[in-house]
Amino acid sequence: MLKVLLINDGSGHAGLLAQMLAQADVCIVGQIAPCMGLEHVIAGLQPDLVLIDSDAPSRDTLEAVCVASTESRRPVVMFTGNGSRDILREALKAGVSAYVVGQVEAVRIESVLAVAIERFAIEQALREELADTRVRLAERQWVDKAKGLLMQLKGISEDEAYKRLRAEAMKRQKRIGEIAQTMVESAAWLA
């Protein structure tokens, strides 16, 4: 059963939305007003999804969502009456996975939540891939610097410098990038 935290940002539809969620076999683990510290509420309740019901999302609500999204990553669905592109853009930047304008029929609620969850999963995978790519790029830069340093200090070829770095990484059971970074930083400190 899907667990949802329902945040009511001044909308008069929260009761109707709660009924539709119950009909869709969704468990509402909490109903709150928007608040700073939302990340702590999310961490405590552990919902699968955060649902915000708002006639017009306030800047405070979007800020709370943004902070919560960096601390407690969860899909966020916003039901609103405001179709402004500027607010839509701000909501997406804040971490909202689905921004639904207007009344949603009870038969569509499950599919809206499912799409938000899938979109969130895709975005999360992309974030992780980007973070991994950044780490690998940084490690490659450290390796290049360390190879240059070894070539200069030992008078060896680039291939030999790489072999020595790799051998040291295997010996210490660390990533070659870590070994290279330590070597370059140590050499900079000694210089």
In the chain, the N- to C-terminal Cα span, in Å, equals: 61
- pLDDT for res 125: 94
| Same structural domain, 20 and 53 | yes
| Same structural domain, 156 and 85 | no
- pLDDT for res 36: 67
The answer to whether the CB of 142 falls within 8 A of the CB of 184 is yes
Pick the closest to residue 30 from 60, 10, 68, 3 (CA basis): 3
| Same structural domain, 83 and 146 | no
- pLDDT for res 56: 76
| Same structural domain, 6 and 93 | yes
The parent domain of residue 38 ranges over 2-104
Q: Which domain-ending residue is among 104, 120, 148? A: 104
How many domains does the structure of the chain reveal? Answer: 2
110-143 tens-digit pLDDT:
889 999 999 999 989 999 999 999 999 999 999 9
DSSP state of 75: -
| Same structural domain, 143 and 85 | no
| Same structural domain, 49 and 85 | yes
| Same structural domain, 149 and 85 | no
Output the pTM of the full model: 0.70
Examine residue 121 and state whether it is found in any structural domain, yes or no: no
Burial 27-50 (b: 16+ CB within 10 A, else e): ebbebeebeeebbebbeeeebbbb
Question: Which CATH number do you get for residue 70?
Answer: 3.40.50.2300
**Predicted confidence (pLDDT) at residue 65 exceeds the cutoff of 80:** no
26-53 tens-digit pLDDT:
889 988 877 767 788 888 888 999 888 8
**Predicted confidence (pLDDT) at residue 14 exceeds the cutoff of 80:** no
Examine residue 24 and state whether it is found in any structural domain, yes or no: yes
| Same structural domain, 92 and 152 | no
| Same structural domain, 15 and 83 | yes
Examine residue 114 and state whether it is found in any structural domain, yes or no: no
Pick the closest to residue 102 from 7, 13, 3 (CA basis): 13
Helix (H) / strand (E) element for 147: namely helix 109-154
Question: Which CATH number do you get for residue 138?
Answer: 1.10.10.10
Examine residue 118 and state whether it is found in any structural domain, yes or no: no
**Three-state SS for 2?**
strand
Examine residue 120 and state whether it is found in any structural domain, yes or no: no
| Same structural domain, 96 and 186 | no
The answer to whether the CB of 14 falls within 8 A of the CB of 31 is yes
133-180 tens-digit pLDDT:
999 999 999 999 999 999 999 999 999 999 999 999 999 999 999 999
| Same structural domain, 9 and 89 | yes
How distant is the alpha carbon of residue 41 from its chain centre?
Answer: 17
Q: What is the DSSP string of 47-66?
A: -SEEEEEESS--HHHHHHHH
Q: What is the mean pLDDT of residues 87-103?
A: 85
| Same structural domain, 137 and 100 | no
